[in-house]
């Protein structure tokens, strides 16, 4: 922690202006700071509105209210289309077929059905699925002492690396993954990583792995969602997960202890997943990108303005202590 010695502090010289000039300086500082306070409060209100606007865009996107539905377009154009219900049925059939091809023992276990109580009605062509039905979900491997050293160190991602819609690669740790574990926990491009444990308002925060670094695994504090082939695209699935974070769907389903919320594997599997036709998914992704990019630009401008306000405060104080904030006082000190 930074500190200053008392002896050094005693040696600091301070210019003292006449009393009237001191009063004028204080009044000028208060006037300038009052205007800056008002500006900062206005900018912070804009920030809050931008956050609300993001949540509203994402909520509309996953409820079928952002772009014309595929059902409406198909009807207007006189053509057929594959509704979300048919898409879901095909994905589930392919899941069962893949399980049979692997020749696994035991009875096939159907994915968890969605918990849809209290959810809004979806538009024509959409269907409520569960996250478990929409993709393969796997909780990462535990970080245990026996894995900290070994012959096969691999980089892995953890909660600290997952931000809202991006991965922070600045502090990636390593631990040992055997060939068997590496095959199980290795990330593939298009995988989505969701925070299992996080502060309540951020639980479920997610980002798409794009293969930025090869041979990367993930820790138990993260869930991996791998969209099924022919099912939801990674980009649309990420919109669903971001919407559930910003609109507190994941928070309401999580188990909260003290200041940490846990989105368990069971709760994530049963979490709802709104599923539109594939063509509509692509239009939604494009429209969300367009609208959020505008909000990003406005937010960047607000951030720069807040930084400017902080710099102006420092500049005002500097001019005040240099005697350049107000005109010199005409007061004369008697000899």
Q: What's residue 16's pLDDT?
A: 86
Mean pLDDT of 312-335: 81
On whether the CB atoms of residues 94 and 230 are closer than 8 A, the answer is: yes
Q: Could you tell me which CATH class the domain 82-106+119-276 is placed in?
A: alpha beta
Q: What CA–CA distance (Å, rounded) separates 286 from 280?
A: 10
Q: What is the pLDDT of residue 5?
A: 81
What distance in Å separates the CA atoms of residue 192 and residue 54, rounded to the nearest whole number? 20
Give the C-alpha separation, 314 to 29, whole Å. Answer: 11
pLDDT at 87: 95
The pLDDT tens digits for 165-209 are 999 999 999 999 999 999 999 999 999 999 999 999 999 999 999
Tally of CA atoms within 13 A in the half-sphere of 219 that contains its CB: 20
The rounded percent of the chain whose pLDDT value lies above 70 is 98
pLDDT digits (tens, 9 = 90+) for 43-58: 999 999 999 999 999 9
Find the helix or strand (DSSP H, E) in which 136 lies: strand 135-139
Q: How confident is residue 131, by pLDDT bands cut at 50, 70 and 90?
A: very high
Half-sphere exposure at residue 195, Cβ-oriented, CA atoms within 13 angstroms: 27
Indicate if the pLDDT at residue 335 is higher than 60.
no
Q: Which residues contact 234 (CB under 8 A, 6 or more apart)?
A: 190, 191, 192, 208, 227
- Residue 188: what pLDDT? 97
Q: Which residues contact 264 (CB under 8 A, 6 or more apart)?
A: 196, 254, 255
What is the residue-averaged pLDDT of the chain?
93
The torsion of the CA quartet 47, 237, 129, 123, rounded to 10 degrees, works out to 60
Q: Are 250 and 256 in contact (CB under 8 A)?
A: no
Tell the burial category of 277 from Cβ atoms under 10 Å away from its Cβ (0-12, 13-18, 19+). Answer: buried
> Please, is 63 exposed, middle or buried when counting C-beta atoms within 10 Å of its C-beta (0-12, 13-18, 19+)?
middle
The DSSP result for 148-213, as a single string, is SSSS-EEEEE-GGGEETTEE--SS-EEEE--HHHHHHH---TT-EEEESEE-GGGTT-EEE--SSS
Q: Domain extents for the chain?
A: 17-67+291-326, 82-106+119-276
Question: Both tokens of residue 216?
Answer: 């990367």
Alpha carbon of 55 to those of 42, 310, 319: distances in Å? 20, 28, 43
**pLDDT of the residue at 262:** 95
DSSP class of 53: H
% of the chain surpassing 90 pLDDT: 78
**Nearest-10 crossing angle of helices 278-321, 19-62:** 180
Q: Residue for token digits 């204080």?
A: 26
What is residue 215's DSSP assignment? S
Query: Stretch 143-159: mean pLDDT, rounded?
Result: 87
Question: Is the CB of residue 207 less than 8 Å from the CB of residue 162?
Answer: yes
Least confident residue range of 142-146, 219-223, 300-304, 312-316: 142-146
pLDDT tens-digit series, residues 237-277: 999 999 999 999 999 999 988 889 999 999 999 999 999 99
Q: Which two tokens stand for residue 76?
A: 């207007």
What phi and psi, each to the nearest 5 degrees, are found at residue 79? -130, 170
What is the b/e burial string over 125-152, where b = at least 16 CB atoms within 10 angstroms of the residue's CB?
Answer: bbbbbbbbbbbebbbbbeeeeebeeeee
pTM (2 decimals)? 0.88
Question: Looking at residue 331, what is its pLDDT?
Answer: 55
**Residue 289: pLDDT band by 50, 70, 90 thresholds?**
very high
- Label residue 332 by pLDDT band (50, 70, 90): low
């Amino acid at each position: 922690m930074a500190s200053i010695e008392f002896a050094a502090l005693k040696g600091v010289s301070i210019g003292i202006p006449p009393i009237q000039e001191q009063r004028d300086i204080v009044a000028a500082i208060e006037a300038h700071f009052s205007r800056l306070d008002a500006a900062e409060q206005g900018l912070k209100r804009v920030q809050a509105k931008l956050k609300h606007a993001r949540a509203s865009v994402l909520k509309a996107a996953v409820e079928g209210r952002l772009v014309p539905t595929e059902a409406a377009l198909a009807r207007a154009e006189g053509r057929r289309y594959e509704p979300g219900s048919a898409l879901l049925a095909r994905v589930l059939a392919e899941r069962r077929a893949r399980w049979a091809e692997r020749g696994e023992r035991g009875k096939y276990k159907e994915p968890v059905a969605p918990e849809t109580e209290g959810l809004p009605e979806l538009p024509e062509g959409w269907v409520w699925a569960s996250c478990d039905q929409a993709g393969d979900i796997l909780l990462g491997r535990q970080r245990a002492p026996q894995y900290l050293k070994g012959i096969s160190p691999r980089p892995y991602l953890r909660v600290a690396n997952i931000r809202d819609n991006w991965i922070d690669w600045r502090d990636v740790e390593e631990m040992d993954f055997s060939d068997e574990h590496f095959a199980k926990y290795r990330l593939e491009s298009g995988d989505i990583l969701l925070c299992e444990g996080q502060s309540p308002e951020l639980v479920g925060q997610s980002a798409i792995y794009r293969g930025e670094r090869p041979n990367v695994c993930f820790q138990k504090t993260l869930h991996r969602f791998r969209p099924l082939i022919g099912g939801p695209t990674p980009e649309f699935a990420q919109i669903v997960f971001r919407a559930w974070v910003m609109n507190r769907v994941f928070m309401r389903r999580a188990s909260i202890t003290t200041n940490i919320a846990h989105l368990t594997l069971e709760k994530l599997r049963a979490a709802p997943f709104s599923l539109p036709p594939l063509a509509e998914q692509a239009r939604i992704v494009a429209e969300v990108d367009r609208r959020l990019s505008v909000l990003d630009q406005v937010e960047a401008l607000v951030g720069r303005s807040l930084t400017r306000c902080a710099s102006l405060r420092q500049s005002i104080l500097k001019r005040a202590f240099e005697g350049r904030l107000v005109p010199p006082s005409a007061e004369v000190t008697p000899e």
